[in-house]
Chains A and B, each alone.
Chain A
Amino acid sequence: MIIELRQVTKRVGAITHIKETSLKLQSGHFNVLLGETGAGKTSLIKLMAGLDPCASGSILMDGEDVTNVSPQRRNISLVHQFFVNYPHMSVFENIASPLRVAGMTKSEIDDRVTEAARLLQLAPMLSRRPQELSGGQQQRTALARAIAKESRAVFLDEPLANLDYKLREELRDQLPAILAGRGAVVVYATSEPEEALLLGGNTALMHDGAVAQFGATAQVYRNPENLTAAKAFSDPPINVAEIEKRGKVAHMGDATWDLTMDAAGLLDGRYTVAIRPSNVLPHRTEKATVSLTGTVQVTELSGSESSARFVLGDTSWVSLAHGVHPYEVGEPHEFFMDPSRCRYFAADGSLVA
Chain B
Amino acid sequence: MKTLNQRAWFFVLPVLVLVAFNALIPIMTVVNYSVQETFGDNLFFWQGLDWFQQILRSDRFHAALGRQFLFTGLILAIEIPLGIIIALSMPRQGFWVPVCLVTMALPMLIPWNVVGSMWNIFTLPDIGLLGYFLNHTLGIPYDMTQSPIAAWITIVVMDVWHWTSLVVLLCYAGLMSIPDAYYQAAKIDGASSWAVFRYIQLPKMKTVLTIAILLRFMDSFNIYTEPFTLTGGGPGNSTTLLSIDLVKIALGQFDLGPAAAMSLIYFAITLLVSWVFYTVMTKGDTN
Chain A positions within 8 Å of B, measured between CB atoms, are 46, 49, 51, 70-73, 76-78, 80, 82, 84, 86-89, 97-98, 101-102, 129, 132
Contact = CB atoms under 8 A, between A and B. Distances in A.
Contacts of B203: 86-88
Contacts of B200: 86
Contact of B185 (A84, A87, A129, A132): A84
The prevalent SS among residues of B at the interface is: helix
Interface centre among B187, B195, B200, by most chain A C-beta atoms within 10 angstroms, is: B187
Contacts of A102: 190
A73 B179 CA distance: 23
A104 to B, nearest CB: 13
19 contacts: A46-B184, A51-B188, A71-B187, A71-B188, A72-B188, A72-B190, A76-B188, A77-B188, A78-B184, A78-B185, A78-B188, A84-B185, A86-B200, A86-B203, A87-B203, A88-B203, A97-B199, A98-B188, A101-B190
| Complex A-B, nearest 6 residue pairs according to Cβ-Cβ distance, in ascending order | A72-B190, A80-B181, A98-B189, A71-B188, A84-B181, A71-B187
Contacts of B189: 72, 97-98, 101
B221 to A, nearest CB: 30
B11 to A, nearest CB: 34
Interface string B1-33: 000000000000000000000000000000000
A177 B188 CA distance: 24
B192 to A, nearest CB: 8
Contacts of A97: 189, 199
Nearest to A88: B203
Nearest to B191: A101
Contacts, number: 51
B199 A89 contact: yes
Contacts of B191: 101
Contacts of B190: 70-73, 98, 101-102
Contacts of A129: 287
Given A87-B203, A89-B199, A72 B181 contact: no
A86 B204 CA distance: 10
B182 interface: yes
A88 B200 CA distance: 9
A88 B195 CA distance: 13
Interface of B: 179, 181-182, 184-185, 187-191, 195, 199-200, 203-204, 287
B202 to A, nearest CB: 9
Nearest to A81: B181
B70 to A, nearest CB: 33
A42 B287 CA distance: 34
Nearest to B189: A98
A329 to B, nearest CB: 42
A49 B188 CA distance: 8
Contacts of A86: 199-200, 203
Contacts of A88: 199, 203
Contacts of A80: 181, 184-185
A102 B195 CA distance: 13
B93 to A, nearest CB: 12
A88 B205 CA distance: 12
A304 to B, nearest CB: 38
A132 B285 CA distance: 12
Nearest to A146: B188
A132 B287 CA distance: 8
Nearest to B200: A86
A288 B182 CA distance: 52
A72 B187 contact: yes
Nearest to B203: A88
A82 B183 CA distance: 13
Given A71-B188, A98-B189, A129-B287, 4 more contacts: A51-B188, A78-B184, A86-B199, A86-B203
Contacts of B188: 49, 51, 71-72, 76-78, 98
A76 B191 CA distance: 14
Contact of B179 (A49, A70, A82, A87): A82
Most chain A beta carbons < 10 A, residue from B188, B190, B191, B203: B188
B187 A51 contact: yes
Nearest to B188: A71
A51 B191 CA distance: 14
A77 B184 CA distance: 10
Contacts of A73: 190
Give the most central of B179, B181, B182, B189: most A CB within 10 Å.
B189
B203 to A, nearest CB: 5
A84 B200 CA distance: 10
Contacts of A132: 287
A51 B184 CA distance: 7
Given A89-B199, A129-B287, A84 B187 contact: no
Nearest to A72: B190
A101 B181 CA distance: 18
A46 to B, nearest CB: 8
A303 to B, nearest CB: 35
Contacts of A46: 184
A346 B199 CA distance: 56
Counting chain B CB atoms within 10 Å of each CB, the highest count among A84, A86, A89 belongs to: A84
A266 B184 CA distance: 51
Nearest to A155: B188
Contacts of A89: 199
Contacts of B199: 86, 88-89, 97
